[in-house]
A = this chain, B = another copy of it.
Amino acid sequence: MEVLIIGGAGMIGRKLADRLVADGSVGGRKIDRLVLQDIVEPAAPAGAAFETRAIAGDFSKPGLSEQLVASRPDVIFHLAAIVSGEAEADFDKGYRINLDGTRLLLDAIRQVGGGYKPRLVFTSSIAVFGAPFPDAIGDEFHLTPLTSYGTQKAICELLLADYSRRGFVDGVGIRLPTICVRPGKPNKAASGFFSGIIREPLNGMEAILPVPKTVRHWHASPRAAIGFLLHAAGLDTAEMGPRRNLTMPGLSVTVAEQIEALRKVAGDAAVALIREEPDQTIRNIVDGWSRNFDPKRALALGFKADASFEEIIRIYQQDEMGK
């Protein structure tokens, strides 16, 4: 069967492609062909036992989605998105890529016809929720996003459910936790410090902590995220009914708990590299974010979170530092 990854050049897209190459199958079905799309040409994963193809193109340009679905891929992972900060800074671009692009894809799938109904795994985000929150956000809490990015994700969730209900596609939307430890260099995203305070010390570098250690947040490792995507691809959607969007399980931990896990894994010397430098702007942004969930449905459907924050740190060491 054929697998298509839209947004295949990003961090999650590359890790997913590598995993598909390693597994050779998804949802119990052998992969014959893997197509990767992104705005820049994605690197083809090495060592694939099946055909791979990379396509560069703008996902929000009419015609591209038609081209991508013409070969009738069986499983489509839709990871493409303008990130939160950029969608807030560039209103039109955010709506064009995150909303119109997704709708073009859904309509392209619908128009293939002949009974074509691929599994479409859509990555949504906990940004669909907006404060004030209960202590733990349950599966029936309403979506009141406080960013344009969250709004666009929430709209795509509604479209995914309706197109699935109408039988045009077999969709599963998964709301990813914040991915931690994110590999790579420090970045300026408001959430960057959650990864930075672990990643930089592990690499012998100083890290800045801009918020109090009491701040609580909702995390999943990149490996757990890939697990969510693969599980969603193989899920029996009859069990889901018409509610096609799920909050993924994660770990709710405070910054203090993150730091204690780092101490256990890498010792006091690593922890000493974290420098507190309060930043009220970042504090205010982070205070509006959801911090804990009660994702009963996803757990009942077999999605699995990381076991502990220590495990999250060890996954980074194993997957990114070769330890």
Chain B residues closer than 8 Å to A130, beta-carbon distance: 242-243
Report the 3 A-B pairs with minimum CB-CB distance, sorted nearest first.
Answer: A151-B162, A142-B142, A155-B155
In the docked arrangement, what's the CA distance between A140 and B143, Å? 8
Contact A144 B166 (CB under 8 A): no
Q: Is A154 an interface residue (CB 8 A)?
A: yes
Q: How far is the CB of A302 from chain B (nearest CB, A)?
A: 21
Using Cβ atoms and an 8 Å threshold, which residues of chain B touch A145? 158, 161-162
A258–B167 Cα gap in the complex (Å)?
A: 38
Residue of B nearest to A288 (CB): B242
Q: Is A91 an interface residue (CB 8 A)?
A: yes
Which of B146, B155, B159, B161 meets A144, CB within 8 Å?
A: B161
The answer to whether A159 and B155 touch (CB under 8 A), given A140-B142, A142-B142, A144-B243, is yes
* A136-167 near B? 1/0 per residue, CB < 8 Å: 00011111111010010011001101100110
Question: Is B143's CB under 8 angstroms from A143's CB?
Answer: yes
Least CB separation from A151: chain B residue: B162
B residues near A155, Cβ cutoff 8 Å: 155, 158-159
* Chain B residue at smallest Cβ distance from A146: B242
- A139 — which chain B residues lie within 8 A by C-beta? 142
Contact of A154 among B91, B148, B158, B243 (CB under 8 A): B158
Residues of B within 8 A of A165 (CB): 146
* Chain B residues whose C-beta falls within 8 Å of the C-beta of A242 in the assembled complex: 130, 144, 146
In the bound complex, how far is the Cα of B140 from the Cα of A144, in angstroms? Answer: 9
Docked-complex contact B144 and A141, CB < 8 angstroms: no
In the bound complex, what is the Cα–Cα distance between A155 and B162 (angstroms)? 11
**A145 CA to B157 CA, complexed, in Å:** 11
Least CB distance from A159 to B in Å reads 7
A40–B143 Cα distance when bound, in Å, is: 36
- Residue of B with least CB distance to A134: B140
Contacts of A141 in B (CB 8 A): 140, 142
- State the CA gap A210–B154 with chains docked (Å): 37
